[in-house]
Structure 1
Amino acid sequence: MMSQTRIFSELVRDHLRDDCLMVRSKTPLAELLSKMTLAKATSAMVVDGDERLLGLITEQDVTRRIALRCEGNELVDSVMTTPVRTIGATDYLYSAIARMRRFGWRHMPVVEETGRVAGAIDLCDALAAAGEDMLRRVDTIAHEHSKDGLREVKSAQVALAADLIADSVPAPEIQSLLTRINGDIHRRILDLEITDMKRTGWGDPPVAFCAIVMGSGGRGENFLYPDQDNGFILDDYPDDRHGQVDAFFVELATRMTRDLDDIGFPYCKGYVMATNPLWRKSRTQWRDQIGRWGRKRSTIAIQLADIFFDFRPVYGKAAMAGELRQRVTGMARSSPALLTELNRETERMDVALGWFGRLVTEKENVAFKGKINLKHMGTLPLVSAIRLLCLQAGIAETSTLERIAGLHERAVLNNNEADYLRGAFVHVTGLLLRQQIADFTAGREVNNYVHPDAMSKRERDILIGSFKAISDLKDRVRARFTGEIF
């Protein structure tokens, strides 16, 4: 039986129709109509010389606009519909289904990251991958823009994650989906607040900007209830505009973080949020800050840099984040002293593995006695050590699995090391996500602790092997940055 949850794990590119009709913008309308008739096409995508989408001609355009008002020698770009709503080839299938159902469309253009047309997706083809229960999930997850609706989206994530776990979808794929949904929530919140600020006299954003998320969101590895780790990159502006520009973005950041907290993303206890000037800077200020982190050796500077290294854009001008990523990657690779200090932080992270391969459980905190903190003593040491090796190698990826793949490609990790570490990450995150779902379902506090008795013997054996691989990685990283073997 075909999985009914695959719409949440499969990508749009897996369901592309590559027989779509494409024409150049200077094509005469008579020629366009001839091509549509010959191809029995209900629409045509108008592209430039690099096959980037410029507009769309549909059957409705033909019947309502072209047939009644045009003679045939006019050019396509004079009557095409533009701009056109598109979806990315690497977006999840559920996103395409939700958009087409929301707008009543039968098909939708699909584009690559470069903007080049990849094909089109047909609603009937997409719906064939989904049952009625899953369509209800889609409609909930892709709720219209309202704060109440977004609160429902956040709540629906748990049921969706449970469905995917039950369907044997690997935990990192579920984390990626949860992160994507959370990113959509951020975008919708910012859209709502920018619209409201314009309505109430603030006007449009005074400069272009990019909102970023850090931590697990920046890696695409959210669990069920991540707190807020966000910031703003602002386009450069003259000093004499600082009062106006900063006032706008302070207000926007305040509204955004308040709404996110209300929906289910708690305020960051460490104040890593766009409301803090440390995380709200212009492009030049960010570049200067990154340079200072590379030169300074204070504990605070190291901790701030460590927080920042995992970030990705969620709203606005993504190119600003790309520019900053290049700067960070170059700075870290050319700052061995900084990497050595970062390694000290990694060394302080213990792995929950004791003598003779025994699992180390909590002994002091009565509330969690006998349980293992799979985040602090499992995923965090792995994530931190892998990130450190990638910074040294100049690898710009942020996802832990992509980082492991990058290190493997550059022969920093051999075949066995990469395989064990991939397996460790998938296994530990799977146990942790399953426990969080169980805690939520039972009405318990959702946290990062798992009791060994909640695992099968096989799962405990694999966990011990996973911790051993993580511990070996830490030893290797320590030797690499300090020269110490033991």
Structure 2
Amino acid sequence: MKNSLAERILDFLKTYPPFDSVSYSDLYKLAVETKVIYVDKDETLYSQGKPAKEHFYIVNQGAIRIYRQEGENTVEIEICDEGDVLGLRPLIVNENYNVTAKAYEESIVYGIPIKTFNQQFENNAEINKYLITRFASNSPARFSQEDNNTIFADYKRTTQTDYFSSKIENLTTPAAWCSYKDTVQHAALKMSDEKISSIFILQKEHPIGVITNKQLMHTIATGKHDIKENVTRIMIAPVITASPDVSIAEAQIIMLKNKVEHLCITQDGTPESKMLGMLTQQEIVASLSNNPAVLMKQISRARSISRLRDIRQQLNQLLRRYIDQKISFTHTSTVVAELNESINQKAVELSLSDFTKVPPVNFALFSMGSQARKEQLVPTDQDNGIIFENVADEKLEETRSIFIELANIITKNLHTIGYEYCPAEMMASNPTWCLSRKEWQEKFKNWIHNPTEKSILLSSVFFDFNFVYGQKYLIDEMSNMVYSHTPNNSRFFMFMAQDALKNPSPIGFFRQFLVDQDGAHKDQFNIKQRAMMPLIDAARILTLHHNLIGINNTAERYYKLRELEPQNAEVYEACAYAFKALLKFKTKNGLATLGEDDGKFIKLETLSKSDKVKLRRCFKPIKSIQELLTVRFQGII
């Protein structure tokens, strides 16, 4: 006689990897011994530092928050929802939990006994492959035959690297160094003798700079500096450092952000403490089999726009693989955003090499909107502008025409790579958005001090801007100027609040999704306009209201607001979670419809019942944050 509960569990498990590759009979045996666990909101499933239990878990309903305690700080890693596997690694490598799992909301999880799992699937190649790809986020295509013997080794090996939680200490190597008093010749001889490509410069055991082969080539081989000069004359400073406690994933992000191929490891992670060793990209690549650093290197070596287009397509493949392998979406979005930004920077660099004129003054290209917020995972349309140094009035239009000519090359090249032209022409090639420093300051001052409904609608995207290429001080100065004019500006916040409240709940009176009523996307749900933008707009106005400079990402804004307003922490945390979940929905849809749109239009008939439930769960924080805005700004709306 069949067990009806086991059959329901089986029907659920078979829709998610790695169980989708298991035979019915084997999966039924596992389902019979699987526990159904009800977890109340804020109830702990397992705790950091505690011994591993006999089960690992897969979320059936609800959401489980995963976080790590680092001293007094709580670091959120991910929120797992339906189909996500958790608590498996400690059972495989026989160690205590290194994170805590707590119910974000009332949830149901299935507890799968590791003993039964091992007995049934110890020799199942497909299961073993999946488990390793879950541990090593940068493994190649999921079932790559050529790598079976190296990457998909026996998953029970305790030496297998856990990309997200393993510390870098096992990959750290001794670092060559010399004194800040030494000459360049001394440093170069040491590099030659030890056959190394870089050497750190120390002062009282603290790293103050680094010299690389490339730096020697550009400074000594060119004759710009003499080999007898002091090392401090040519060293690269400051040194990019990390502590031995960071994970491999965190170290990789630091390298990507700073575009370096090695990290100096110090006692407390700062240049002010003793150097312990170094970590190189090569070590990470060797330990993980494949790495976004490979794409980063390809970007830096690209010599044509067509090559960048190919790399952008590779990035889509990397994104799809990360999502298929259920890699942490927070980590996925961070990696893709950094690579995306590098592609844009390289596109500008190549555009300048094709430009027949020399920019007459310092300038900077900046991004706006989703790219500036580092939320553009699937390529969408361009939003960018140029700011250039002030010139005499009689030279202003001539200078602008030169930068517009350059901007036309840049936007054309970005279009070739895969970034569509902005339908509203919010691009640097439009004279309206190619302005001098003085003109940009006047424009922002006017938007802030003389707001109108039209100007706020037009300019809101400009309050999320981020440096791409050129002289960064121009962008920093503009950002500081914007935030210096917003405090106590009630009229400005009135219009911002009205704009942030213009989109009501995405659910209609009868709890149906509000869809487009006509046009090319009739009966489709616009997840960006109806669900994501209310959260983006609310985070923006609250960030401006708190005068928080330098935080553009929507989820990060909510996490910072959570710290500043503990009385509203639950609302802000819910908004951060909802936004990341919505961005993941949009990204997955964008990958599925690549070439049609960026994923913002969803055909509801393609969603499963559980997906619709997940979406509806994300809408509740929209109502909460809009109620908070109404109360916060009710005196001026």
- TM-score (structure 2 length as normaliser): 0.62
2:284 match: 126
Counterpart pick for 1:474 among 614, 623, 626: 626
2:182 match: 27
Which runs of no fewer than 5 residues in structure 1 stay unpaired?
Answer: 101-106
- Per-residue deviation, residues 176-228 of structure 1 (Å, max 9, x unmatched): 4333333222222221222222xx3x23x221111100000110100312111
Change (3 A) 1:43 1:403: closer
Aligned counterparts, 1:130-149, within 5 A:
130-131=288-289, 144-149=302-307
- Per-residue deviation, residues 159-181 of structure 1 (Å, max 9, x unmatched): 12110111213445434433333
Change (3 A) 1:427 1:281: same
Aligned counterparts, 1:251-330, within 5 A:
251-330=405-484
Counterpart pick for 1:55 among 211, 229, 233: 211
**Alpha-carbon offset, residue 411 of structure 1:** 0.8
d(CA) in 2 for partners of 1:231, 1:14: 40
2:537 match: 384
Q: Is the contact made by 1:257 and 1:267 (CA closer than 8 Å) also made in structure 2? A: yes
Q: Is the contact made by 1:86 and 1:111 (CA closer than 8 Å) also made in structure 2? A: no
| Amino acid paired to 1:326 | N
2:317 match: 159
2:201 match: 46
Change (3 A) 1:269 1:172: farther
d(CA) in 1 for partners of 2:196, 2:414: 44
Change (3 A) 1:137 1:191: closer
Change (3 A) 1:317 1:51: farther
d(CA) in 2 for partners of 1:369, 1:381: 21
| Amino acid paired to 1:45 | F
**Alpha-carbon offset, residue 339 of structure 1:** 1.1
- Per-residue deviation, residues 225-245 of structure 1 (Å, max 9, x unmatched): 211110112122333432442
**Alpha-carbon offset, residue 136 of structure 1:** 7.3
**Alpha-carbon offset, residue 271 of structure 1:** 1.4
SS at match of 1:333: coil
Q: Is the contact made by 1:140 and 1:156 (CA closer than 8 Å) also made in structure 2? A: no
- Per-residue deviation, residues 393-447 of structure 1 (Å, max 9, x unmatched): 111211101110111111166232122112211211111111111223xx75554
Q: Is the contact made by 2:400 and 2:435 (CA closer than 8 Å) also made in structure 1? A: no
Change (3 A) 1:190 1:85: farther
**Alpha-carbon offset, residue 91 of structure 1:** 8.2
**Alpha-carbon offset, residue 332 of structure 1:** 2.1
d(CA) in 2 for partners of 1:249, 1:281: 9
**Alpha-carbon offset, residue 38 of structure 1:** 12
- TM-score (structure 1 length as normaliser): 0.80
Change (3 A) 1:482 1:86: same
- Per-residue deviation, residues 350-406 of structure 1 (Å, max 9, x unmatched): 3312236x2414262375454321111111111101111111111121110111011
2:158 match: none
> Which structure has the highest helix share of the two?
1
Q: Is the contact made by 2:180 and 2:203 (CA closer than 8 Å) also made in structure 1? A: yes
Q: Is the contact made by 1:48 and 1:54 (CA closer than 8 Å) also made in structure 2? A: no
1:247 match: 401
1:181 match: 339
2:373 match: 219
SS at match of 2:423: coil
d(CA) in 1 for partners of 2:636, 2:509: 21
Alignment pair present for 1:5 and 2:137: yes
| CA-based RMSD | 4.4
d(CA) in 2 for partners of 1:281, 1:52: 38
d(CA) in 1 for partners of 2:622, 2:181: 59
- Bigger Cα displacement from structure 2, 126-135 vs 467-476: 126-135
1:104 match: none
SS at match of 1:302: helix
d(CA) in 1 for partners of 2:265, 2:491: 42
Which runs of no fewer than 5 residues in structure 2 stay unpaired?
Answer: 1-131, 141-162, 243-249
Alignment pair present for 1:434 and 2:566: no
Change (3 A) 1:270 1:346: same
Change (3 A) 1:138 1:185: closer
Alignment pair present for 1:373 and 2:526: yes
d(CA) in 2 for partners of 1:149, 1:426: 31
Q: Is the contact made by 1:56 and 1:84 (CA closer than 8 Å) also made in structure 2? A: no
d(CA) in 1 for partners of 2:371, 2:463: 12
Q: Is the contact made by 2:588 and 2:599 (CA closer than 8 Å) also made in structure 1? A: no
Task: Specify which structure has the bigger relative contact order, considering alpha-carbon pairs within 8 angstroms and separated by 6 or more residues.
Answer: 1
SS at match of 1:55: strand
2:77 match: none
| Amino acid paired to 2:452 | S
Change (3 A) 1:191 1:124: closer
Percent identity over the alignment is 22
d(CA) in 2 for partners of 1:354, 1:155: 38
Q: Is the contact made by 2:180 and 2:231 (CA closer than 8 Å) also made in structure 1? A: yes
Q: Is the contact made by 2:372 and 2:552 (CA closer than 8 Å) also made in structure 1? A: yes
| Amino acid paired to 1:365 | D
Largest Rg, 1 or 2: 2
Q: Is the contact made by 2:200 and 2:211 (CA closer than 8 Å) also made in structure 1? A: yes
- Per-residue deviation, residues 1-56 of structure 1 (Å, max 9, x unmatched): 25443489979x96884843444443257986999899997742236899543634
Q: Is the contact made by 1:176 and 1:222 (CA closer than 8 Å) also made in structure 2? A: no
SS at match of 1:414: helix
d(CA) in 2 for partners of 1:30, 1:194: 35
d(CA) in 1 for partners of 2:505, 2:272: 45
d(CA) in 2 for partners of 1:18, 1:474: 51
Change (3 A) 1:33 1:319: closer
d(CA) in 2 for partners of 1:156, 1:252: 27
Q: Is the contact made by 2:241 and 2:265 (CA closer than 8 Å) also made in structure 1? A: yes
